[in-house]
Chains A and B, each alone.
Chain A
Amino acid sequence: MHGQFGGSVRKLGAALPGSLVYFLVLILSFVVSSSQPSQAIPAFARKYGLPCSACHIGWPILNVFGQQFRDNGYQLGNDRDSPIYQNPAYWPITFRVTPQWHLESQNKVLVDQTGAEQTVTTTGFDLSGLDIWTAGTLYKNISFSVLPSMGEGDTFHFENAWVRFDNLFKTPWMNLKFGKFELDMLLSEKRFLTLSNVGGLWYNYQFLPPGDINGFGGIGDNQLGVELSGHSKNSYARYSIALLSSVDGNPGLTSGGQAGTARTYDVFANVNEGFQVKGLGVQRVGLFGYVGQSPTFFLTQTVGGVTTPLEAQGNKSFSRVGAYGWWFIKNLDIETLYMHGQDNVFLGNAVAANDPASLPAGAAGPTWNGGFVEAHYTVNPQFILTGRYELVHMSRQANTALQATPNLGNVDSFTVGYRWYPIMFSRGGLAFHNEYAQAKTGNTSLLTGSDQTSRSVMIGFDFDY
């Protein structure tokens, strides 16, 4: 028996073969009107028996219900939350990997053989890294996540590992997370739709000016620390504030790339508010800020000719602040972000803070502004289109010499793609992913100082179980 979702169209297709029109109708119907539900992080889908489209606009982007679920510590607020109610065979683990074909191209690359700049192109079948993610609840109101991740040929690293005490004092406004975790950016780089080498990041979240020695990789990096967060019952109003080690998420007290040297802390805060607009959906606006420090030199010890950094010194400040909005017009949603960044003059000029005389002429702390507009159109829970334009532009270079090339480091990029989730049932997820991305970086070619353009084309199957 077919339901109200597309079964009748499939029957028609079978009854009227041979016609190109009907064949196209059949194909289009399958894409646009397929009857099967969408899927999400299968570990959670298995636990709660919900289709992942319940939590995701198109996985992995969270919708309002998914955001509430996440804010509640991966809990729905019923007695299925505690693992004691689960079948003992339940194992809250998800694997995710993306076999793919992709093409990478960059122009104006200096090549040894010719001593000139030329376009370099590579292409072939490939694999993404592997995520093995376990997450859920240890008990009612005690949640956790552990995500070992590895790239092809790499060793595992912990993308995240944290425990969270939820609803402290019986209020959703008090939750405490401890460990390595994603910064609470509502617009999440961990849960967006683009995966290619060029389009698989938000440049604003990862940006550093050329030559800058700031060890902070960007607000897109998971960090080590403790986070206090809270939200209204429906998660429309949210806040978080985190105290973080100045280690860019690297274990071993690693500051400025050197293990065992960290001794300072950073602070990140985020606040956002959602509001309903009748007939359109829940709109969200928010503010965020990150203030941190990064070392400019180290106390060292040399034994047997081997020099070991002991303690980060000359820590200098940097900041990232911004505002964002997430706008819904029925099936179309648009993410917008503005961000301003600044690094201390010593970080920007790669000069030790105890050696100010080495600062070049016209030295100044580099500053930049950036933002993006990213749109998704959800044709149905199984088919979603995406497009993004992003830029990061330097507003002040770190010294007079760099100011001669004011576009140095600027990034202008765009990405378009779609994801189709062809088979959707409640135990696994599969997305056919197709994406084109392009990014231009200002004055970065080594020989001529020209702009360079990188391009990615990616076709792959993104799946998790």
Chain B
Amino acid sequence: MNRSWRQLQLVALIIAVGLPVLAQEARVGNLTGHAEAGKKLYRRYCVGCHGPTGDGNGENAPWIDPKPRDFVGATFKCRSTPTGTLPTDQDLYNAITRGFYNSNMPHWDALPEQNRVDLVAFIKTFSPRWKAEKAGDPISIPAEPPVTIQSINHGAELFQKMECWKCHGQQGRGDGPSAATLTDSKDQPIRPYDFAAATDDSRFKCGASNQDVYRIFMTGVDGTPMPSFADVIQPNDAWDLVHFLRTLQTHRKSKENEVLKSSGGKVSSPAADKSSGSGN
């Protein structure tokens, strides 16, 4: 009798521990991810950095910079949703697939799609936020206007007016006067994005297209000093800023750099002229 009771306790405990995990799902396209399957995959691929409890304190975490994401905190940089909200399953799936070039997080595009969706489902078991809140609604991104020299010049004005240069530097090299003092929400030093560093878009953390850059303005990069500008900037202005920022990628072949080159190769914003070269 006593033995049976203990066996019953064992079964009950296993169910109690396992049930919340089993319940979580994720949906990406026509795929449904299951946390139970994701748990095995997480153990295989992710636990070394993100840790068994998902708090970003895996055994390799002390030697990694930037630090692994803390899934318990559920603060995610790359989202399609407004600042402060949870990302969509698609956002998490995209992050797993794309990886982060300037971190230890590789791109996991070799994994079958189902595996990646299962991982998303399991990642969502780590934080109670996923039970208390729904993911935010993705922001709408209007169609991109044509790239013109006027758009680029206006973007340069906004770059000054909104004081982007204070962090990113006048040439977009991530060396503005505030750059050295920045920390993330975990008090870890963090460096602003260096637009001039790469010859391609691989270093962009949250996607490389113009739409992705636009999205970052509007959603912000949660957990970092990069705020959302959704309440202070109009969509057309945001697109102008995107066009200007592309010209800071001086080694990158782009429509924006072609337009700038055909217009004399120099931004004619008065503010930009005034402060050009002074942000280093």
Kindly list chain B residues whose C-beta atoms are within 8 Å of the C-beta of A7: 52
The smallest C-beta distance from A137 to any residue of chain B, in angstroms, reads 14
Query: Are B44 and A1 in contact (CB-based, < 8 A)?
Result: no
A-B contact count (CB 8 A): 116
Give 24 pairs: A residue, B residue, CB < 8 Å, sorted on A. Answer: A1-B53, A3-B51, A4-B21, A4-B39, A4-B52, A4-B53, A19-B3, A37-B44, A38-B44, A49-B60, A49-B63, A51-B47, A51-B48, A64-B110, A76-B106, A78-B102, A79-B203, A234-B109, A236-B110, A279-B114, A282-B112, A380-B40, A381-B44, A426-B48
CA distance A49 to B67 in the complex (A): 11
A49-B44 in contact given A76-B106, A77-B107, A426-B59 (Cβ < 8 Å): no
Query: Are A78 and B47 in contact (CB-based, < 8 A)?
Result: no
Q: A3-B52, A35-B52, A37-B44 are in contact. List 18 more A-B contacts (CB 8 A).
A: A3-B51, A4-B21, A4-B52, A21-B7, A45-B48, A48-B104, A49-B63, A51-B48, A53-B45, A65-B110, A77-B101, A77-B106, A77-B202, A78-B105, A78-B107, A80-B104, A381-B44, A426-B48
Query: Are B112 and A381 in contact (CB-based, < 8 A)?
Result: no
Query: Are B53 and A65 in contact (CB-based, < 8 A)?
Result: no
Query: Are B100 and A78 in contact (CB-based, < 8 A)?
Result: yes
Taken residue by residue from 1 to 44, chain A's Cβ proximity to chain B (1 for < 8 Å, 0 otherwise) reads as: 11111011100100010010110010000000001011000000
A contact face: mostly helix, strand, loop, or mixed: loop
A67-B110 in contact given A4-B21, A49-B63 (Cβ < 8 Å): yes
| A191, CB-defined interface residue at 8 Å | no
Point out the residue from A16, A35, A276 that lies within 8 Å of B6, measured CB to CB. Answer: A16
| B193, CB-defined interface residue at 8 Å | no
Residue of B nearest to A65 (CB): B110
Query: Are A3 and B60 in contact (CB-based, < 8 A)?
Result: no
Kindly list chain B residues whose C-beta atoms are within 8 Å of the C-beta of A279: 114
| B13, CB-defined interface residue at 8 Å | yes
CA distance A25 to B10 in the complex (A): 10
Kindly list chain B residues whose C-beta atoms are within 8 Å of the C-beta of A48: 104, 106
The smallest C-beta distance from B117 to any residue of chain A, in angstroms, reads 11
Residue of A nearest to B35 (CB): A4
A8-B13 in contact given A276-B112, A380-B40, A426-B59 (Cβ < 8 Å): yes
CA distance A133 to B53 in the complex (A): 34
From B3, B51, B109, B110, residue with most partner A Cβ within 10 Å: B110
A276-B113 in contact given A2-B52, A77-B99 (Cβ < 8 Å): yes
CA distance A54 to B60 in the complex (A): 14
| A233, CB-defined interface residue at 8 Å | yes
CA distance A77 to B103 in the complex (A): 11
| B64, CB-defined interface residue at 8 Å | yes
The smallest C-beta distance from A82 to any residue of chain B, in angstroms, reads 12
B contact face: mostly helix, strand, loop, or mixed: loop
| A143, CB-defined interface residue at 8 Å | no
Interface size on B, residues (CB 8 A): 42
| B49, CB-defined interface residue at 8 Å | yes
| A148, CB-defined interface residue at 8 Å | no
Kindly list chain A residues whose C-beta atoms are within 8 Å of the C-beta of B105: 78
Taken residue by residue from 94 to 108, chain A's Cβ proximity to chain B (1 for < 8 Å, 0 otherwise) reads as: 000000000000000
CA distance A282 to B48 in the complex (A): 24
Kindly list chain B residues whose C-beta atoms are within 8 Å of the C-beta of A8: 13-14, 17
Kindly list chain B residues whose C-beta atoms are within 8 Å of the C-beta of A79: 101-102, 203
From 47 to 64 in chain A, residues with beta carbon under 8 angstroms from any chain B beta carbon are 48-51, 53-54, 64
The smallest C-beta distance from A187 to any residue of chain B, in angstroms, reads 18
| A200, CB-defined interface residue at 8 Å | no
CA distance A235 to B17 in the complex (A): 38
Kindly list chain B residues whose C-beta atoms are within 8 Å of the C-beta of A77: 99, 101, 106-107, 202
Residue of B nearest to A8 (CB): B17
From A12, A51, A64, A381, residue with most partner B Cβ within 10 Å: A51
CA distance A4 to B47 in the complex (A): 11
Residue of A nearest to B53 (CB): A3
Taken residue by residue from 13 to 27, chain B's Cβ proximity to chain A (1 for < 8 Å, 0 otherwise) reads as: 110010001000000
Kindly list chain B residues whose C-beta atoms are within 8 Å of the C-beta of A9: 14
CA distance A381 to B45 in the complex (A): 10
| B111, CB-defined interface residue at 8 Å | yes
Residue of B nearest to A1 (CB): B53
Kindly list chain A residues whose C-beta atoms are within 8 Å of the C-beta of B39: 4-5
Query: Are B59 and A234 in contact (CB-based, < 8 A)?
Result: no
The smallest C-beta distance from A333 to any residue of chain B, in angstroms, reads 13
Query: Are A5 and B47 in contact (CB-based, < 8 A)?
Result: yes
| B108, CB-defined interface residue at 8 Å | yes
Kindly list chain B residues whose C-beta atoms are within 8 Å of the C-beta of A4: 17, 21, 39, 52-53, 125
Point out the residue from B6, B47, B99 that lies within 8 Å of A37, measured CB to CB. Answer: B47
CA distance A77 to B106 in the complex (A): 7
| A425, CB-defined interface residue at 8 Å | yes
| A281, CB-defined interface residue at 8 Å | yes
Query: Are B43 and A381 in contact (CB-based, < 8 A)?
Result: yes
Residue of A nearest to B105 (CB): A78
CA distance A80 to B202 in the complex (A): 13
Residue of B nearest to A48 (CB): B104
Residue of A nearest to B62 (CB): A49
Kindly list chain B residues whose C-beta atoms are within 8 Å of the C-beta of A425: 59
The smallest C-beta distance from B42 to any residue of chain A, in angstroms, reads 9
Kindly list chain A residues whose C-beta atoms are within 8 Å of the C-beta of B203: 79
Residue of B nearest to A3 (CB): B52
Kindly list chain B residues whose C-beta atoms are within 8 Å of the C-beta of A233: 109
The smallest C-beta distance from A117 to any residue of chain B, in angstroms, reads 50
Residue of A nearest to B125 (CB): A4
The smallest C-beta distance from B28 to any residue of chain A, in angstroms, reads 13
Kindly list chain A residues whose C-beta atoms are within 8 Å of the C-beta of B59: 37, 425-426
